[in-house]
Structure 1
């Protein structure tokens, strides 16, 4: 029986010691805080209150001592800070991953757009080349003056009809503008001061012999030569007309 009482006494003393140590730590922290806030003299009331508290803590049953031992605020703060850091790090990594994916998609789209633009440019150039070849072939066909029967004389309407059949449709108006200014569609027009002759006023007129020996009397021969001259020197009748407008000659 005495041994049992002694054991209970040891237990109560141990609890009491733990309470006193805890109270002392709390009081010490309070004293430090007081000093930090300007209160240089610790109050005796604090020590007395601590003593009273220890008496109450000593009466806590041994089975409930675990409730007294709680985690410190510093440990809780550290745990919260660690969790916040981990969350921030995870969020940053996710943001970086999403941005990298977005950048990669943008680069891919830009590369695809560049390839598409290059393909369109190549296709346009090829189509332009084909059109140019077709136009050249068409001009070669329409410049054949031998398809017109030779006559002793031609009216303006007949000469214009020849030109419409020999000059490409998209170039006829430009060709007509030049002929209107140079000879008013008179295939026998002659400039006595310069020696220019014919519809396009070739200078000298004998240049047109390269298109046919009948250059003096056949409007088709003159049209053929005039087209060849405009194409070789200006690229087309419209190119020649642009130059004529700027210089009043071609």
Structure 2
């Protein structure tokens, strides 16, 4: 307080408050290792975010074979034949492998056997025999039975082989006798009692035997060609 005219007058006094000085913060230099660690952390974070955006169904790295299931569309199915070994059906969401079906067995039909013609026992034409001979008698009897010249040619070839048209031809080992080589020769007795010497009797019996057993002289000749006898 100061004095003023004998009165006490208050005097304002300035108070100075001392403020503590702040110490400067030391600047720290980051090392290269800290910078590299920061870059790696940033790259890992970015990759994690990218993976979840591209493949929302996976919490980690997406598999390169992963595909999002979609509704089945028949137009998306394709058939693939792999080297002829398998039949593969490929779909958008997978594939199915089916074994190739076995080929149907090949059935080889036996070759058709051609039916032998009636004249399969063909023989060279015999021509017209001399009158009065055994062959001339046989030609008349062949025509009387309704057989043609072709049947007569078969008859000539057949009995040329058996007896040479000899009325007295005899087979000592078998007992066959005569032009038709009847076995035994006595069978020709049913055609006549003179069967041992008469060519007409022998021929009549021989044509009856041929007709009953083979149907015609060419049938008998065909059998003789195959078996060597008739």
TM-score normalized with structure 2 length = 0.40
- Structure 1 or 2: larger helix share? 1
TM-score normalized with structure 1 length = 0.38
Larger Rg, first or second structure (1 or 2): 2
